[in-house]
Chain A
Amino acid sequence: MRAIAPFNLVPPEPLLRAQHVTLEYASERGVVRATDDVSFDVYRGDRFVLLGPSGCGKSTLLKAIGGFIAPRAGSLHLGGKPITGPGPDRIVVFQEFDQLPPWKTVKQNVLFPMLAGGVARAEADVRARHWLGKVGLARFADAYPHTLSGGMKARVAIARALAMQPAVLLMDEPFAALDALTRRSMQEELQALWDEIGFTMLFVTHSIEEALVVGNRILLLSPHPGRVRAELNSHQFSLASAGRHEFQAATQRIHALLFGADAEAPVVQAQPAQVQP
């Protein structure tokens, strides 16, 4: 297991490196190409966002990095080593609430991956209590998941992931199933956690605003099959800047990159009034 270095002064090697990754999966209508020749680098401490409409292969890409799918072509490296299968150095936070085994209490859920990964019971206990406190669920340690709200389940999933101290945290639209108000407070809490600890995270979303708020760098993917459209910086934005002019401009720029400039894009969205190039 790899502890996250608290500081990195030297311009470092990328932690996660995707090179010319082509992913395919079998569906009822034959083999579908999810991504085509996608390359990107994630550095330590990045909040790297994969953004795109449905069908751009962003979730498939995340699953490939999680080790659940092997690339058809190209390579995925984590810390210089090729990714060959799922492992506890890349804990995934899924969108679905059933990622938490319902037969385990909140605390047992946080303990589960640590004990499965061979962390000593006493240490796992300390870590679980620490991270449940961090996400504000200390008082719910003995509650079963079915008694929790969606936002609380998402927090358990995040605490469970962070307690493992993974090299990179993989988040697959973790807040997409939450209501808008809860989603906003979860984004704030995630930001606060990152400010405090500075973990590396790969975040998949289809919301432009969420990408700008959560990420420091955004990989834009176009759909059918997923191809890299652009790689943008978004470190200057936070929830506080959501109403500002630059934020609006960045939103519209991404929107234009994804839909506007692309005449063949099949997705017709209710666009805000904007200039078509």
Chain B
Amino acid sequence: MNAVHEPPIRPEYVAPQRTVAPAAASAAPQARPVRRLDWLNKPAILLALVILWELLARWVDNDLLLPGALQTARAFIDGIASGELIGYVTVSLAILVQGFLLGVAIAFLLTWLAVSNRFGRELIDTLTSMFNPLPAIALLPLALLWFGLGKGSLLMVLVHSVVWPLTLNASAGFRAVPETLRMAGRNYGLGGLRMVLQILVPAALPSILSGLKIGWAFAWRTLIAAELVFGSTSGQGGLGWYIFQNRNELFTDKVFAGLATVILIGLAIERCVFQTLERVTVRRWGMQR
């Protein structure tokens, strides 16, 4: 009975040696990308959704409530061709970029305060936990009171929407820099600004990038919402104003075209700017998958 539990004793053998040196065996891994039709998945889903939309619109059969996909596309192309839509987009993007850059600058100032000393850290922690949950658009009435109808109010809500998520992410990123890396930097004789630029900023880049991404998305939706409330700054309206006005005039297809533009621009910036940035930095460095 005992024999069942005892493995058999087998003869030993030694495999003949191959000529490949161990160093050559561990050559740089040649990545062989798996290329299939995966990239078609998303367009296919989009196409299915568009068809569903068109069918639904034909079934409802009411242009005022639900224009179809084709009708919306026509309005969109008309808007582009006549330059009307482009004008609105330009106004929106111009103010967005100003507000975003201003917000980023302020956020970096606050981050510097948060990571440089204990008091600053507690101050910024308190401020971010107070203001981060506060929707920027909720500040618009106050902004209108302070700055009146115009660019100042828009900038204020934009800055608010960028500053807090970015500060939160960036300061968390700086705090998460490994102690070993900091010591290595000091070991090389780095200090002060050189330490910040050559060690801390690159090490915190994954968090900084995700903060920028969240900040940008917040700013974009805040801007459109703010423009719905009052669109024109010195006679020029933005994309939100375009949507709002066309709703008032019951051009529902143009409303849909405007909404589609909001989505397209959001996707384009996310894809072209942020994903490219991530690909050439943190993904390439293996700091983010």
Contacts and interface: CB of A to CB of B under 8 A. Distances in A.
A90 interface: yes
Nearest to B287: A102
Interface string A69-102: 0000000000000000111101110101011111
A245 interface: no
Which of B23, B26, B180, B203 is the most central at the interface, judged by chain A CB atoms within 10 Å of its CB?
B180
Given A103-B285, A146-B286, A66 B187 contact: yes
A194 interface: no
Nearest to A152: B26
A113 B188 contact: yes
A26 to B, nearest CB: 14
A23 B70 CA distance: 77
B183 A92 contact: yes
Contacts of B23: 136
A102 B287 CA distance: 7
Contact of A86 (B27, B180, B189): B189
A143 B286 CA distance: 11
Contacts of B184: 92, 94, 99-101
A103 B287 contact: yes
A165 to B, nearest CB: 14
Interface residues of B, number: 26
A63 B183 CA distance: 9
B21 to A, nearest CB: 11
A143 to B, nearest CB: 6
A80 B107 CA distance: 47
B143 to A, nearest CB: 39
A40 interface: no
A105 B198 CA distance: 14
Interface in A136-177: 136, 139-140, 143-147, 149
Dominant secondary structure at the A interface:
loop
Contacts of A94: 180, 183-184
Nearest to A151: B26
A127 B285 CA distance: 24
Contacts of A43: none
A68 interface: yes
B199 interface: yes
A143 B189 CA distance: 25
B113 to A, nearest CB: 24
Given A99-B184, A102-B285, A139 B203 contact: no
A96 B199 contact: no
Most B C-beta atoms less than 10 A away, residue of A101, A140, A143, A146: A101
A68 B281 contact: no
A99 B199 CA distance: 11
B267 interface: no
B58 interface: no
Contacts of A98: 178, 180-181
A87 B178 contact: no
A103 B202 contact: yes
28 contacts: A63-B183, A66-B183, A66-B187, A86-B183, A86-B186, A92-B183, A92-B184, A92-B187, A94-B180, A94-B184, A96-B178, A98-B178, A98-B180, A98-B181, A102-B286, A103-B203, A103-B205, A103-B287, A113-B188, A117-B188, A139-B27, A144-B285, A144-B286, A146-B285, A147-B28, A147-B29, A147-B286, A149-B26
Can you list the 6 inter-chain pairs with the closest CB atoms, starting with the nearest?
A146-B286, A113-B188, A86-B186, A96-B180, A116-B188, A98-B178
Interface of B: 23, 26-29, 178, 180-181, 183-184, 186-190, 194, 198-199, 202-203, 205, 281, 284-287
Interface of A: 63, 66-68, 85-88, 90-92, 94, 96, 98-103, 112-113, 116-117, 136, 139-140, 143-147, 149
